[in-house]
Each structure stands twice: as structure tokens, then as C-alpha cells.
Amino acid sequence: MTGFFESLTYNNLNPLKFHSVLFFVLFTLFYLFYAFVYKNIRLRNVLLLLFSLYFYYKVSGLFVFILILTATVDYFVGFWIYYLESLWKKRFLLILSLTVNLGYLFYYKYATFLMHIFGVKEIFADTFIDKILFPIGMSFFVFKSLTYIFDIYRKTIDIPEYNYINYLLYVSFFPNILAGPISKARDLLPQLKAKHDITEDEIGRGIFLIMSGAIKKFFIADFLAINFIDRIFDSPSLFGGFENLMAAFGALIQIYCDFSGYTDIVIGLACLMGFTIKPNFNKPFLSQNITEFWRRWHMTLSSWMSDYLFYPLSYFFRRLKMIGVILAVLITFFISGLWHGANWTFVLWGCSHGFAIAFETWTKNLRYKIFGKINQRFYKISSIIITLNFLVFTIILFRASDINKAFEMYKIIFTRFDVSIISNWIHVYFYPLLVLLLGYILHFLPQKLNDNLTLKFISLPWILKSVIFFIVIVIIYQTFSSEALPFVYLEF
């Protein structure tokens, strides 16, 4: 019993994970209570808030108080912005909210990075600044809270949220507190104030999404990382160009399956409770250009960046016309790269995508002319192939631990590419290759097929659904529980 109660407190060496047995037990107990109170909006929201705050405490310890402070400040700032008539006072409060929210983010996420840039790391060695820990999920709850303030300022939201519990729950809602999807206040707050009828179809859909996400995460993403990708990215010089290139192809599908698997799981959890969270992915590797890719990949972040960064910048630079649009694109993607991590690899990754979109914007009319003069099917397929290869080469920047490792991989791919080893490589890495191919095949299957499979699962008798779910969970934990990796996007 002592060990059980100790497991209920925060342990920085073993924080709570969505794919842990402890979370499964805690959520099951929570859901039993939830089933009795969900029709009572007030009791439901209080229970959800308590579980959400406890969940974040189990993930990040006392950083839960920063979450509460952030939400509390913006709760009152939202009121003042709404009711004050003076424009300069509204702007002052908007800047205050930005300062508080981004101040937390810059201190915890970028202080060490800036010390390295300015060469003062040694000055702060062995001080509290040198030992900064980044609270998991901070980027996401900061963005959620800022969304509310921006929408109040722009009057996109008709009235502010009067209920403090509802607002704190909106910011801390446990299914998407750690790595999104980023819910806007105008999407989630109305759901928190509405009654929900949890139907059998919704429960069935939630269970299917959880299974789908677990399969993507454990059977594809983790298997590829543990058995192939990590060893290449850790020591690229020990391998040839072909292995490094295949590791890049593997890294792309690994990160996709890891993050989309996480998204499926949390959307499924929300679905079990009667809530709707917007999806984050729509078959991104079918994109014909990078602009389209960002409409299909991490869609809630793309929407956030477009609404609150790109469009305001475009308006600010409007007199520069096309140059202004391109500047807005480059700044947006520089910030997007920096948001993903305090590392030059992420900055270059973001900038590479920014330059690609800037090029597409600049050549839009020319590409339309080319499209009208050649076979449309050929143009579409070739565009998808070119875009996919761009994503493969830029994912090296995203996945590499530092710039030197990334450039080393590029050099090896272009100078030590030996096709004679392909047959031997296939023999050695036969199972990782099968899983890699499976990941891409599943991604490229028509969405209609996935929708039909979901509907068929939902229509099964509950006994069959329970048996399938139980079998999938048992197999996953028997196979991967000892080597399960953290979700990739939790570090952002």
C-alpha cells in the first residue's frame, strides 16, 4: 500500500505517461465517477478540473501552479479587456498578458539557449538559471490561454467566460494539455458549458481511436526508433549514405506515427467523455507542396500561427505587397521552428519550410501555367514525390540532436551512397523495413477505407469490441512496455 500511495505523488524520474499502466488505472477510476455525474454540468466540470490538475501535477509536479497562475491572470485580463472602453488600456492589458505568458515560455524554454548564443553559459554554471527545467506542455497551455485573450481583444468571442472553473478547465483540460491539439476558446469553452449525451457510437469511436493511436505509436513509431532510426541518428558516421537516407525516410514516418498516434489517443479520450477535439492530421504526405503540407500537418498549430501571427504580420507589411507576404511567411516559420525547440536544428528546419513556402508564393502564377500545359495526373504525382523528398531531407534537421550531426548525415548521403549494400541491408533490417513500408502504406490508404473500418468497429457488438480492445492492449504491453519511448512532441 505504501508503494501505491507513493505512486500517486509526483516523481520527476518517472512522470505520468498516457501509455502507462498507472494512467490506465487512474483514468478508469475517474471514468467510473464521471459516468455518474456527466449529466450535471457543474459536477462534471469540477470533477474534470480536479482530475486535469492532478494529471498535470503527476506530469510536471509543482509547475501546476504556473498553469493555474497563467489561467488566473488571463481570466481577469479577459474581463478587463472586454469591459474597458479605452483602446490604449485594452492594448496595455493585451501586452501584459503577452508579457506574462511569453515571459514564462522564454525563461523556461529559451534561457539556456540564449546563454549558449551569447557565450555566458559558464557565468551561470551551477546556479538556478543553469538548472532550468522546462515544464511539459507549457507551450500548449500558454497558446490556449493566449488564444482566449486574442479573441476577446478582437471581439471574436462575444462575451468573456464568467465561470472561473470553466476557464481553468479550458486551459488545463487533460486530453490536450501536453501536446495539443491546440483547442481555441471559441471551440472548447462552449462544450464545457453544454450538456453531453455520451452515446454508444461515441464510446466505440473513442475506443477505436485509442487503439489506432496505440498501434501507430508502439507497433510503428517505437519499433522503428528502437530497432533502426536511433542508432543511425546517434552515430551517422558508422553507416553509409543509403542507411542514412533510409533512416531519414524512417524518421519521417516515425514522427508522424508518434504524433498522430498521440493525437488519436487524446481525441479518443475526449470522445469517451463526450467532447470533440479538432484533428491534427489529414494525410500530410499526400501534399503537392509545402503550403498544402502545413494545411494537413499539425493543423491546429498551423491554424494558430495563421490566425495570430501570419495574418497580423501580412497586414502590417501590406504596403510591401508580395514582399510583405513573403516576409510574413519567413518570420512565421522562423518563430515556428524556434517554438519547436531551443536548438539551431529546429530554427533551420522552420526556416527551410518558410523559404519553400515563400518560393511557392512567388512562383504561384508560373506553376498554374505549367499545370495547365502538362498532364494533370503526372503533375500531381510528381509534385507529391518532390514534396515528400523535401520533407525527408528536412526531417534530418528536425530529428538530429545538433547541427553537426545533421550536416554529417547530409554529407554522408551525398558522398558515401553505395547501392551495392542494399541487398545486405534488406537482409539485416528486414523487419524494420517491413514496418517502415507498413507505415507509409497505411498513410497512403484512402481516408474512406479508414472511415469504413471505424464504422464497422462501432457497429460490432460490445462483447466483440471489448475482446478486440483487450487483445490489442495486452499485445502492446507484452511487446513494448519495457522499451516504450516518450511521445516526441511532449518535449515541445
Per-residue pLDDT of the chain (492 residues; tens, 9 = 90+): 555 566 677 777 677 777 777 888 889 999 999 999 999 999 999 999 999 999 999 888 888 998 999 999 999 999 999 988 888 889 999 999 998 888 888 887 777 666 666 554 555 444 544 445 667 878 888 889 999 999 999 888 888 999 999 999 999 999 988 887 888 888 999 999 998 888 888 999 999 999 999 899 988 999 999 999 999 999 999 999 999 999 999 999 999 999 999 999 999 999 999 999 999 999 999 999 999 999 999 999 999 999 999 999 999 998 988 999 999 999 999 999 888 877 889 999 999 999 999 999 898 888 777 777 787 888 889 999 999 999 999 999 999 988 999 999 999 999 998 888 888 889 989 999 999 999 999 999 988 898 899 899 999 888 898 888 888 877 776 655 445 566 676 666
Q: What is the pLDDT of residue 124?
A: 47
Q: 375: alpha, beta or left, given left = phi > 0 and alpha = psi -120 to 50?
A: beta
Of 455, 333, 447, the C-alpha closest to 397 is 333
d(CA 305, CA 314): 12
Q: What does the block give as the cell for 420? A: 551495392
Give the CA angle between residues 170, 171, 176 to the nearest 5°: 85
Positive/negative CA dihedral, 165, 151, 328, 326: positive
Q: What does the block give as the cell for 372? A: 495547365
d(CA 406, CA 346): 11
d(CA 402, CA 394): 13
Residue 267 · residue 175 · CB < 8 Å: yes
Q: What is the pLDDT of residue 333?
A: 94
What Rg do the C-alpha atoms of the chain give, in angstroms?
24
* Identified catalytic residue from 19, 116, 298, 340: 340
Active site residue 340: yes
Count how many Cα atoms sit within 13 Å of the Cα of residue 486 in the half-sphere of its side chain: 14
Count how many Cα atoms sit within 13 Å of the Cα of residue 456 in the half-sphere of its side chain: 7
| Residue 149 CB contacts under 8 Å (≥ 6 apart), including other chains | 74, 77, 78, 81, 94, 97, 98
d(CA 256, CA 254): 5
d(CA 173, CA 178): 9
Residue 417 DSSP SS3? coil
